[in-house]
C-alpha cells in the first residue's frame, strides 16, 4: 500500500469521525434544551390559608403569599383562597 493510499484512508476516517461527533453534539444540545425547557415549566399554585381556633379551620382573608426572594405575590380572598401563576418548580412560597 502506498503512502498516498494510507493518507487518504486516514483523512477519510477523520472526516467521518468529525461528522459523527458533530451529530452527537447537535443531538445532545437538542435533548438538553428540551429537557431544560420541560424542567422549568411554569405552574399555577392554588391554596388556602386558614387559622385553627378551638379545633376548627377558619379561613384567613388578606394573608400575604410571596415568592421567596422576590417582591411578587398575592393576597388571599375573603375565603382564604389564593392563586399564583407562573411559579416554577424551584420557587418557594412564604
d(CA 73, CA 57): 23
Residue 4 lies in a domain: yes
Regarding whether 54 and 33 lie in a shared domain, the answer is: no
How many domains are there within the chain?
2
Say if 92 falls within a structural domain: no
Give the pLDDT of residue 89. Answer: 57
34 and 60 fall within a common domain = no
Same-domain check for residues 1 and 30: yes
pLDDT in tens, 16-64: 556 667 667 666 666 665 555 554 456 777 888 888 887 788 888 888 8
Q: Are 8 and 20 in the same domain?
A: yes
Contacts of 33-41 with CB under 8 Å at 24 or more apart are 39/89, 40/88, 40/89, 41/88, 41/89
Domain that holds residue 54: 42-87
Q: What pLDDT, on a 0 to 100 scale, did the predictor assign at position 54?
A: 76
Amino acid at each position: 500500500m502506498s503512502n498516498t493510499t494510507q493518507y487518504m484512508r486516514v483523512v477519510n476516517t477523520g472526516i467521518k469521525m468529525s461528522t459523527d461527533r458533530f451529530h452527537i453534539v447537535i443531538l445532545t444540545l437538542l435533548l438538553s434544551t428540551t429537557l431544560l425547557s420541560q424542567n422549568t415549566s411554569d405552574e399555577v399554585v392554588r391554596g388556602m390559608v386558614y387559622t385553627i381556633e378551638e379545633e376548627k379551620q377558619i379561613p384567613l382573608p388578606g394573608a400575604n403569599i410571596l415568592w421567596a426572594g422576590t417582591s411578587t405575590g398575592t393576597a388571599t380572598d375573603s375565603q382564604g383562597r389564593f392563586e399564583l401563576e407562573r411559579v416554577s418548580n424551584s420557587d418557594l412560597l412564604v
